[in-house]
Amino acid sequence: MLKYISKRLLMLIPVLLGVTFIVFSIMYMTPGDPAQLILGESAPPEAVAELRTDMGLDDPFIVQYGRFVVNAVQGDFGQSYTTKRDVFSEIFARFPNTLKLAGVAVALAIAIGIPVGIISATRQYSFIDSASMIAALLGVSMPNFWLGLMLILFFSVNLGWLPSSGADSWKHMILPAVTLGTSSAAIITRMTRSSMLEVVRQDFIRTARAKGVSEKKVINKHALKNALIPIITVVGLQFGYLLGGAVLTETVFSWPGVGRLLVEAIRQKDTPTVLASVVFMATTFSFVNLLVDVLYAYVDPRIKSQYQ
């Protein structure tokens, strides 16, 4: 297991290099001058040119990227162009908000998706199955930003029950968590149903029923346990995605998380903040995937034997 984890961590290095190279290239080619943005539109050209030289923005692309990689390896991702603070200080200050939002959204998605998926699988082609699959299809199809705006319009503007932005209390978390959790719940529902249908048709399920085992025990102890691998995969992917920063949702609800920080940095062409945010998101997503792979070994002993 340790050998496998070490191998996965080493594979993270080329992934991060590739991600940072692509993002650095995009930021380099996009219009806008960071020095001009820092000094303001009314700044004299001489001051802008001097700041560009001090920041190393006049150097060739490969020199700038190489300097970033060398500094990043030493743990220095630079300072934000706009706030003058260390970029990871900005990220770590906002990450708890993203973590709370992602945790609540995934918990909501699991609480809805797995039970509904199990019911749909055990009552295939029934009205409940058809209704839940239609609802899941709608949940997957609706863009998060559209759903968020509709929830704001209904619950905040028309009814006035919930706040539309901010993160001052638990009430502020309800709408963004529902917005994020809806899509994830739909995906988990569909995967749970598909996985359960595959398992309940196996011979050992028929054998358990023939022995007189209660249907509840057959489903919960035998079928669900053997159907967990793809479900865990989907839940892990959804959680990793949300931890990486639900960019659109955090922007719509003005939620002070990593996703909104990234959007603000892109608008201001704050390259150090953008690069550090992307590295943080990619690393977080990779670690969540690694955790999911480790969980496989505890869910399925056959997978654990492969690591030994």
Specify the amino acid at residue 289.
N
**202 three-class SS:** coil
Domain ranges of the chain: 94-307
CB atoms within 10 A of CB 143: 10
Please name the CATH architecture into which domain 94-307 falls. Orthogonal Bundle (1.10)
**Distance in angstroms (rounded) separating the CA atoms of residues 77 and 89:** 11
The pLDDT value recorded for residue 178 is 92
Q: Per the structure block, which two tokens stand in for 306?
A: 């492969």
State residue 107's pLDDT score: 93
Divide the 308 residues of the chain into consecutive groups of 10 and give the mean pLDDT of each group: 74 84 85 76 81 81 87 83 83 89 91 91 87 89 87 90 84 90 90 88 82 81 80 85 76 86 84 86 82 73 56
206/172 Cα distance (integer angstroms): 48
Predicted confidence at residue 244, as pLDDT, reads: 65
Q: Tell me what pLDDT residue 111 has.
A: 93
Question: Cβ distance 98 to 245 under 8 Å?
Answer: yes
> Measured at the alpha carbon of residue 112, what is the angle toward residues 108 and 117, in degrees to the nearest 5?
145
184: CB partners within 8 A, 6+ apart = 105, 106, 109, 113, 238, 242
The H helix count followed by the E strand count for the chain is 16, 0
For residue 86, what are the β-bridge partners?
A: 79
- pLDDT of res. 188: 92
Which pLDDT score is estimated for 116? 92
d(CA 102, CA 239): 7
Q: Could you identify the residue written with the tokens 């594979």? A: 11
Angle made by CA atoms 247, 140, 182, in degrees to the nearest 5: 65
Burial class (CB in 10 A: 0-12, 13-18, 19+), 41: exposed
Q: Which residue type does 227 have? A: A
Give CA–CA dist 39/57, Å, rounded.
15
Q: How far apart, in whole angstroms, are the C-alpha atoms of residue 33 and residue 157?
A: 39
Q: Give a three-class secondary structure readout of 138-188.
A: HHHHCCHHHHHHHHHHHHHHHCCCCCCCCCCCCHHHHHHHHHHHHHHHHHH
pTM over 0.85: no
